[in-house]
Amino acid sequence: MKELGRHLTRHLHGRKRKRVATTEMERLAVAAGSDYWAFHRCIMQLQEEGLLAPIRASGRNGRTPSLFNRYSVRSEIQDYTELEDEILGLPFNRGVEYYLAHPAQYQEDRWMIGQIRRFLLEGEAPQVTVNERSYQVFRDEKALKSGRAGAVLGRLGLTLGDLNVLHTHEPFVFFDVRGVERTENVLALIVENLDAFISLHRSLQAGAELPGGLRPGFLIYGEGKKILQSFQFVREIDGLANRDGDYQYFGDLDYEGIGIYNDLSARYSERIIPWVDGYRALIRLEPDPPAMITEHRPRPLKPFIGFFDPCTVEGIVSVLESGCRIPQEVLNMARLSREAWRLPRSD
């Protein structure tokens, strides 16, 4: 069908009249060895591409599937015949297939394709970051990440790996809280909100004991949903990269906070579990939780809920089903310093 489309396009390009009979185009298709079904698909494709427009007043041809009897031809229709040999000479098999079917796109992408081709022909280059390679190849440091160049790579069947780039990770704020006289029992504690992050850090500096005796080596500020993209930065941190162990997560006890945990644990291969004793402390310290500030769509509670004992599960479900939430700020620095979380009720 692609060859038939090019055949008809060349014919239409050479016509002076702006209207063409369907029977005229069908005769060309038959002469080229095509049957009516392939001809119909070709006409519909040319119509979708804007090269042909049906003249509805001409009526339909009575065939199945039907076509209109006459079509108008775009006056600005272009002949891409001269580009075919150039496209066929591309050293990218997927690119050849795509651009033969979309020659107008090839004309638009031509310069970028040439830049990519020249870079690859120069041989393997030293590994640099995505933005650095983008500037080297296209003189535009953002072309690969947010510009058109990434799409052109895809059309050619290439990836960033073919350009030998080093992927950089979006960083997060963290504290190294490893102590000389204190052995950590978890790699890091990820904290959803800034105030809780700061309070936990200051409490650890002051020697406070965290619920459950948690002793993290690092405190990581999750910054809400941002951690879903930035968590991979742990692979750049000395003391976390290539180490076995658990990460624990602590966020608001509401659908959004639980959803962040579930998405995070599903996205990465590292073992990330909820800070169970931290959530138990929230429930213990806030017997009268406030209503949700904004309406949150209920989300699945698993796998988050699966880490808790039945009594705590009942408490979590009760909070959520009553339309309430417990922000992690309930476990503030004053309560941590006095170990108020050990008490059956908050002060």
CA atoms within 13 A on the CB side of 41: 8
Q: How many structural domains does the chain have? A: 3
Q: State whether 249 and 338 are in the same domain.
A: yes
18 in the same domain as 154: no
Range of the domain at 158: 83-166
Same-domain status, 214 and 279: yes
Q: What pLDDT sits at residue 79?
A: 61
Tell me which of 29, 50, 73 is where a domain ends: 73
Residues 6+ apart with CB under 8 A from 316: 253, 279, 283, 301, 305, 308
Token readout for 273 is: 């579990």
pLDDT in the model for residue 345: 40
Are residues 232 and 192 part of one domain?
A: yes
Q: Are residues 300 and 274 in the same domain?
A: yes
Positions of the chain with pLDDT lower than 50, given as ranges: 180, 343-347
Q: Among 73, 103, 134, give the residue marking a domain's end.
A: 73
pLDDT at 247: 93
Spell out where 286-338 has E strands.
Answer: none
pLDDT score of 76: 57
- Cβ-contact 202, 175 below 8 angstroms: no
Q: Out of 139, 166, 193, pick the residue that ends a domain.
A: 166
What pLDDT shows up at residue 319? Answer: 94
Buried/exposed code over 260-271 (b: 16+ C-beta within 10 A; e: otherwise):
bbbebbeeeebe
Domain shared by 186 and 322, yes or no: yes
User: Could you tell me which residues come within 8 angstroms of residue 120 by beta carbon, excluding any fewer than 6 positions away?
Assistant: 91, 162
Angle among Cα 31, 36, 42 to the nearest 5 degrees reads 85
Is the residue at 78 inside a domain?
Answer: no
Q: Are residues 232 and 266 in the same domain?
A: yes
